[in-house]
Amino acid sequence: MLEADSELRSWDISSQEDAVLPDGPMLGQGECILVYDAEGICRWASDAGAALLGLDLPEVVGSRVLDLRPERFRHHTDAWRRVTESRKPCPFLALLAAEGRSKWVGARFVPVLDGQGAAGWVVATIDKWPDSSDDAEEEDSPQDDLTITHAIADLATSALNATDIFEQAVLALGRLIQFDRATAWSVDRDQTVAALVFSAPPQEDASPSEVRAWLEGTEMGAVVRTQTTVPGLGPSPWAPGPGGEGETGSWICTPVVGRDAVVGVLELWRSASRPFGIREQRVLQRLASMVAPRLEFAGLEAEMHRLSEEAVSTQERLVESDRLRSLGELASGVAHDLNNFLAAALARTQILMSVPNSEDQLSSLRAIEQATHDAADVVRRILEFGRRTPVSEPIAVDLSRLAEEVVALTRHKWSDEAQRDGRRITVSVTVVDPAHALGSYSEVKEVLANMVINACEAIEGDGAIEIAVGDGDGKAFVSVSDTGPGIPSEMIERIFEPFFSTKLSGTGLGLSIAREIASRHGGAVEIESEEGKGSTVVLTLPKADPPARPASSEPVPDPMPVVAESDVLVIDDEAVIGSTLADVLSFVGHRVSTAIDGEEGLSMFHSRSYDLVMTDLGMPGLTGWDVVKDIRSSGSKVPGIMVTGWATSIDESQMREHQVDRVLMKPFEVDEVLRLVQELLAQGGRS
């Protein structure tokens, strides 16, 4: 055999006769030998070498090593790269054919180094055709079939998973084939990824479930794609042993083919450089074909189990969804009724506040007004929950200014109520970076207010709340930190569930609504908490450029002329609302007529003329939409206000479609009612 340190520097390859290397062995025409220069061009070939390529000598000399046919030579491209880089012999495989039979035999590239240690020449040698004793080793043994049959019988009577199936298959192979390491892989449905499910001996640095292999462009991918067995020499391409890339030996990889596709791959490796023979390939293929149905069955069992678990989970989610839907419908109806009561209470309280009162009476009325506002906030949050409407007309919200407003807005919670309970809570605002967020000013303010109120309720005694504003990673953020007891880790995610609360009081809707609003804005709400060390709630929103002038949270309307002594028709099936609106409008000099349903209201409208009509949306018989439709069909253009306490919002398109001028949501402020009425009366006229 040619040694790596032989020299060809002075060798004249001008003849295809048998040649002798300087101080080296003779290159005989009877051996399968080819000699390549450093560029990979064949400069000399033996007769046997040319015959192996299926070419005449003149066709072989001058050909490139990289042009060798891949169906006859496996891994020679990689072996050439390694021999030129490492300057060490590298093995590959060659397919010999004779007498109607074919066999993979070992081949190798041997570098011939020059004086500078570079591979000046590379000699390719190919093993001879096996002799009769080798042929005997290729014959099948009756024991092979018996061993495989027993192995499959064991598999068929056992409820096994993929790991157990491959383990028993490898045990059966160990009685028939000599190998030092085995790996088994499952292949996904898309035939793109293989996962290691069994290894003998076990992987040292990772469990089998953690090892993945992408199939595209790899030897294993070729095995899966062509559904053919591939042998090789050298280190295993997929599960290298302790020697890594430097290990020698031989390997073989075969697909486990199911009914429609490859479901797995079996790979064996041994330290001996002798390639796996024909008999060994047949044994491996036969076992793989018998393992395939059991492996598919195990996959079906696993899939059925997964689907069963998913079905149970889906059913639970559907039941929960149906429960929440029913609860939402119930809450919506209750909220509508509450809004009617709150509207009357708030409006009448504000009417009383507008007349002369003693300071004690005024203080009591303010307390009633605040309590009504708080109750209305709870109702509004119930109505708002579950709505997935996009943010309308987003603006650049100054988070620093918003934080200061929220501190003032929630003072009754963190200051007044805390002092009443004998506690002291301080609130501070830290502006890390001035930041503007893109969104709705009122909705973002609601989220931040909820965060501060939750922080107040989390603090059991004295404590502190810190609001921080800043930006980072293209997002604006505002965080609220408290010195409360913190939240157990198992409850962190449940905090965002509707009606879940860690407190003994409260609705449990604050953070669920906050997350819903943040999601509609393209942001998020997250919690960081540790028991005994408090909690931090962080709201992140899309960042916005600062406006030319600060956006106002409550734009002041332009002054408008006062239009009094107008005729107004109020239609509402709730007498308390109708009478309240009548009192509010009469207080500033309007003449008000009231009707208790749509039929009465239309009868009154057609019997005389009015300057403005206010009608409730949800009424028995004719709805508010029906009333407005009848009025418009008569040709009247009298201004109309739709009054509603339902969760369903009325958008601009609905207002245009039904020719409604304004919408008044319950509970309403006296100033809001008067402003809308004055605005429409100033713009319109008697029909």
Q: Quickly list DSSP for 501-529.
A: -SSSSS-S-HHHHHHHHHHHTT-EEEEEE
CA distance 184 to 163: 8
CA distance 497 to 575: 38
Residues 6+ apart with CB under 8 A from 26: 18, 19, 20
CA distance 644 to 666: 6
Residue 32 tokens read as 């399968």
CA distance 441 to 463: 29
The predicted structure's pLDDT at residue 10: 39
The predicted structure's pLDDT at residue 24: 42
CA distance 56 to 369: 106
The predicted structure's pLDDT at residue 558: 46
Helices marked H in 54-178? 57-60, 76-86, 132-137, 142-156, 162-174
Q: Which amino acid is located at 158 in the chain?
A: S
Q: 208: cis peptide before it, omega within 30°?
A: no
Over residues 671-686, the mean pLDDT reads 81
DSSP-derived letter for residue 584 is H
Helices marked H in 253-358? 278-353
CA distance 270 to 255: 19
CA distance 226 to 220: 10
Instruction: Check pLDDT > 90 for residue 222.
Output: no
Q: Which amino acid is located at 655 in the chain?
A: M
Give the 3-state secondary structure of residue 616.
strand
DSSP-derived letter for residue 612 is E
Over residues 75-84, the mean pLDDT reads 82
**Among candidates 261, 267, 258, 266, which has minimal Cα distance to 295?**
258
591-595 and 567-571: which strand pairing?
Answer: parallel
CA distance 54 to 97: 11
3-state helix, strand, coil in the chain (%, to 5): 40, 25, 35
Instruction: Check pLDDT > 70 for residue 428.
Output: yes
Instruction: Check pLDDT > 50 for residue 73.
Output: yes
CA distance 654 to 47: 92
Q: At CA 639, angle to CA 636 and CA 641, rounded to 5? A: 125
- Mean pLDDT for the chain? 76
**Long-range contacts at 131-140 (CB < 8 A, ≥ 24 apart):** 134/277, 137/277, 137/279, 138/103, 138/277, 138/278, 138/279, 139/279, 140/279, 140/282
Instruction: Check pLDDT > 90 for residue 132.
Output: no
Poorest-confidence range of 14-23, 161-170, 246-255, 426-435? 14-23
Mean pLDDT: which of 457-471, 492-506, 642-656 is highest?
A: 457-471
CA distance 555 to 546: 18
**Among candidates 339, 334, 330, 338, which has minimal Cα distance to 643?**
339
Reported as half-sphere exposure (CB side, CA atoms, 13 A), residue 283 has a value of 30
Segment 565-597, tens digit of pLDDT: 789 999 998 888 898 899 889 888 899 999 999
CA distance 226 to 229: 9
124 vs 72, higher pLDDT: 124
pTM above 0.95, yes or no: no
650 vs 26, higher pLDDT: 650
CA distance 591 to 603: 18
Q: Which amino acid is located at 444 in the chain?
A: V
CA distance 534 to 486: 4
CA distance 112 to 627: 102
Over residues 446-455, the mean pLDDT reads 86
685 vs 189, higher pLDDT: 189
**pLDDT bucket at 147, cuts 50 / 70 / 90:** low
Tokens 């295993």 appear where?
236
Q: Is 392 left (phi over 0), alpha (psi -120 to 50) or beta?
A: beta
Q: 201: cis peptide before it, omega within 30°?
A: yes
Q: Above pLDDT 70, what percent of the chain?
A: 72
The predicted structure's pLDDT at residue 469: 94
Beta bridge partners, 474, equal none
At 399, which helix (H) or strand (E)? helix 399-409
Q: At CA 412, angle to CA 492 and CA 383, rounded to 5? A: 55
CA distance 264 to 214: 14
The predicted structure's pLDDT at residue 295: 76
CA distance 213 to 232: 18
For the stretch 182-196, what's the b/e string if a residue is b when 16 or more beta carbons lie within 10 angstroms of its beta carbon? bbbbbbeeeeeebbb
Over residues 449-456, the mean pLDDT reads 87
Q: Above pLDDT 90, what percent of the chain?
A: 12
Segment 21-72, tens digit of pLDDT: 444 444 555 578 889 998 999 988 888 888 777 788 888 889 998 888 776 7
CA distance 40 to 83: 11
221 vs 613, higher pLDDT: 613
The predicted structure's pLDDT at residue 687: 44
The predicted structure's pLDDT at residue 549: 52
Instruction: Check pLDDT > 70 for residue 555.
Output: no
Q: Is the dihedral of CA 584, 586, 589, 593 positive or negative?
A: positive
170 vs 547, higher pLDDT: 170
**Among candidates 254, 306, 312, which has minimal Cα distance to 285?**
254
> How many whole angstroms from its chain centre is CA 130?
57
**pLDDT bucket at 327, cuts 50 / 70 / 90:** low
Instruction: Check pLDDT > 70 for residue 317.
Output: no
Give the 3-state secondary structure of residue 622.
coil
With beta carbons less than 8 A apart as the criterion, state whether 480 and 537 touch. yes
With beta carbons less than 8 A apart as the criterion, state whether 645 and 577 touch. no
**pLDDT bucket at 286, cuts 50 / 70 / 90:** confident
With beta carbons less than 8 A apart as the criterion, state whether 471 and 479 touch. no
Instruction: Check pLDDT > 70 for residue 617.
Output: yes
367 vs 423, higher pLDDT: 423
Over residues 636-650, the mean pLDDT reads 79
**Among candidates 343, 334, 376, which has minimal Cα distance to 577?**
343
Terminal-residue alpha carbon distance, the chain:
114
The predicted structure's pLDDT at residue 89: 82
Residues 6+ apart with CB under 8 A from 35: 8, 13, 27, 42, 43, 44, 45, 121, 122, 123, 124
Residue 487 tokens read as 């939240």
